[in-house]
Amino acid sequence: MRTRVAAILVVSVVVLGLVLSPGCKKSPTGTAPEAAAAEPIKVGAILAVTGPASFLGAPEKKTLEMFVEQINQAGGASGHKIELLIKDSGAKPENAISMAKQLIDEEKVLAIIGPSTSGETMAIKNICEEGKTILLSCAAAETIVNPVANQVFKTPQKDSDAARRIFEVMKDAGITKIGVITSNAGFGIAGGQQLQKLAPEYGVTIAISETYDKQETDLTGVLTKLKGAEVEAVVNWSIVPAQSLVAKNMRQIALDVPLFQSHGFGNIKYVEAGGEAANGTIFPCGRLLVADVLPDGHPQKKVLVKYKNDYESRYKEDASTFGGHAYDALLILTEAIKKAGSVEPEQVREAIENLQGVVGTGGVFNFSAQDHNGLDKDAFEVLTVKDGKFVVYEP
């Protein structure tokens, strides 16, 4: 018994030693730093590539890898090649915490892009603030930038702005009584709160508001409840797969009122999944999905069309607005490096706060010391679905 325990302890020390030896460090993607004029910079990314938020993390990872390659081929960010370190957190906050500490303490990265979800971002917000590392989150919650932490920024548009755009359409259309259903994921809950808060401003009454499980396989029950309340429109705030489900179920139980969705509806696949039920859905969204039909003079058109074409030709799948958030994050970082003229963390951070007019996929960013998101209502375009395609909504 004693010898066995001793053997266990020896094995443990040996194994730990092997694991911790420098040769074992994992350095995934990213181009190897070459002997360039300026030294390479490390950029970390914590993304939910697998797990329940993979529809966010997978396109974000692909986008970053593609964008970093493009930047490095063009000589790097102001001459500095970028070494991209992507960590898959699986949408688990405890993994995000551990990986954030790795990136900050061990790899000493200049900035971290991500995480993909709000829960993870809130878990590492304080860590990045105290670790004096820039965090460019791809998650949507307002609490990420409120209260403002010096180091923490986010690229997705505000939920409140999305709600405002929805209510504006409703006010124009004379809709006053609505039903709201949200998923129980962070995104859904946050959206529901914004809808509750802002409805009175536009003369809209929320007659009934319900939350369903994000993994729900059928929503006819909830929608029956809404039907009973005789609502004039339904607002659904969720992500896939519920979005397509709502559209279909509404028509199946003959709840024939307008359906509004959130900016989570940002992928043509959700329209395909909904079939003809998806026609007529109204939702605010970044302009990526209608990039081709934007007027040529539109400030965002060039960036959007290039990103969309690059992504779709390289990965053979439709571009989504989620990948765009990661694109914007890296874009903001490189613009800040350019503006600051250095890669010194504090100078870059300050430069971000002073960035104005950065044209990204989510909108045109204007930062300040109080506004670490940089987007307003106009970042959204109200879209609708016609004959299975995204078009700009016209009342």
Partner 1 sequence: MNLSQIVQYGLAGITVGSIYAITAIGFNIIYATTGVINFAQGEFLIVGAMTAISLSRIAPLPVAILGAVLITTVLGGLIEIVFIRPVKHASVLRLIVITIGLSILIREAMLHVWDEKVRSLPYFTGTPVSTVTILGAHISPQILWVLGVSAVIVVALTLFFRFTRTGRAMRACSDDRMAARLCGINDRWMVTLSFMLSAGIGAFAGCVISPVTQTQYDMGAPLAIKGFTVAIVGGLGNSMGAVAAGLFLGLLEALVMSQFATAYKDVVAIVVLLLILIFRPSGLFTRSDVSALRTV
Partner 2 sequence: MMRLRIYYPVIAGVLVIVTLHLVLAAADATYYMTQITMSAYYALVVIGLCLLMGYAGQISLGHAGFFAIGGYTVAVLTTYNLATHRSAPLVARCHSLGLLVEWQDLYGREILSFSPWVAFGAALLLTAIIALVIGMPVIRLKGHYLAMATLGFGLIVYRIALGTPILGQADGISNVPPFPLFDGLQVNGRAPFRVQNYYIAWTVVLTAVVLSLNLVHSRVGRALRSIHENEEAAHSLGVNTYRYKLAVFILSALFAAIGGALLTHYNGSVGPSEATVMKSVRYVAVVAVGGMANLWGVLLMGVLLNFLSLRGVFGTFDDAVFGGILIGMMILAPQGLLRASGVRAIVSRLAGRSHG
Residues 102-121 that bind partner 2 (CB under 8 A): 102, 105-106, 118-119
String marking each residue 138-157 x if it binds partner 2 according to CB under 8 A: ---x-x---xxx--------
Look at residue 212 and give the partner it binds from partner 1, partner 2, none, a contact being a CB closer than 5 to 8 Å depending on partner kind: partner 1
Q: List % helix, strand, coil for the chain (3-state, nearest 5).
A: 50, 15, 35
Using rule CB under 8 A, residue 171 touches partner 1: no
Using rule CB under 8 A, residue 28 touches partner 1: no
Look at residue 102 and give the partner it binds from partner 2, partner 1, none, a contact being a CB closer than 5 to 8 Å depending on partner kind: partner 2
Q: Which one of 42, 87, 248, 372 is in contact with partner 2 (CB under 8 A)?
A: 87
# binding residues, partner 2 (CB under 8 A): 56
- In the complex, the smallest distance separating the C-beta of residue 195 from partner 2, rounded to whole angstroms, is 16
Among 310, 292, 296, CA closest to 391: 292
Using rule CB under 8 A, residue 55 touches partner 1: yes
Q: Could you give the CA distance from residue 193 to residue 280 in angstroms, rounded to a whole number?
A: 25
Q: Which one of 196, 215, 354, 356 is in contact with partner 1 (CB under 8 A)?
A: 215
Using rule CB under 8 A, residue 19 touches partner 2: yes
- Based on CB atoms, which residue is closest to partner 1, 225 or 301? 225
CB atoms within 10 A of CB 14: 10
Using rule CB under 8 A, residue 13 touches partner 2: yes
- Based on CB atoms, which residue is closest to partner 1, 65 or 161? 65
Asked, as a colleague might, if the bond just before 395 is cis with ω within 30 of 0, I would say: no
Q: Looking at this protein, which amino acid is placed at residue 4?
A: R
- How would DSSP label each residue in 15-35? HHHHHHSGGG----SSPPPPS
- In the complex, the smallest distance separating the C-beta of residue 120 from partner 1, rounded to whole angstroms, is 17
Among 337, 321, 331, CA closest to 379: 321
Cα Rg of the chain, angstroms: 23
- How would DSSP label each residue in 236-287? EE--TTHHHHHHHHHHHTT--S-EEE-TT---HHHHHHHGGGGTT-EEEE-G
Using rule CB under 8 A, residue 240 touches partner 1: yes
Q: Residues interacting with partner 1, by CB under 8 A?
A: 50, 52, 54-55, 58, 181, 184, 210-213, 215, 217-218, 220-222, 224-225, 227-228, 240-241, 244-245, 247-248, 251-254, 269-270, 273-277
